[in-house]
């Protein structure tokens, strides 16, 4: 089933490299939800993302509840080549800011929309 759908580990992995290692060994999921402020540091976040990439685990960059208008996760998602970002419907300013940042990054770099091809299979 994991070849056809994303089985995303959120609370299962909590953006934690050691917990992700166990999940990789158990085949628990084929994707990880990354919440930058969940593990503690950007360095630890990047280490977890690196481990996921080395093991063909898709990375989805996510906001947290109680978000601000900070757009760092948009830059992070593009910078690491994440195929997806999770920030909810653009109904509040904190969410709209993140989508607007993605649009600005795109206009500066003229990326093409890859659709499902942008998500590792």
- pLDDT at residue 2 in the model: 64
Predicted TM-score (pTM) of the model is 0.85
d(CA 6, CA 92): 27
Domains and CATH numbers, the chain: 8-110 (3.20.20.120)
pLDDT one-digit tens code per residue, 10-58: 999 999 999 999 999 999 999 999 999 899 899 999 999 999 999 999 9
- pLDDT at residue 23 in the model: 95
Half-sphere exposure of 44 (CA within 13 A, CB side): 14
Cβ atoms of 9 and 25 within 8 Å: the answer is: no
pLDDT of 67 > 90? The answer is no
């Amino acid at each position: 089933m994991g070849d056809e759908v994303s089985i995303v580990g959120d609370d299962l992995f909590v953006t934690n490299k050691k917990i992700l290692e166990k999940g990789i060994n158990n085949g628990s999921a084929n994707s990880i939800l990354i919440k930058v402020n969940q593990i503690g540091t950007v360095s630890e976040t990047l280490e977890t993302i690196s481990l996921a990439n080395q093991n063909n685990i898709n990375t989805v960059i996510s906001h947290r509840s109680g978000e601000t208008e900070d757009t760092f996760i948009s830059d992070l998602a593009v910078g690491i080549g994440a195929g997806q970002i999770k920030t909810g419907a653009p109904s509040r300013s904190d969410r709209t800011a993140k989508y607007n940042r993605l649009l600005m990054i795109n206009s500066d770099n003229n990326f093409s929309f890859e659709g499902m091809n942008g998500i590792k299979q």
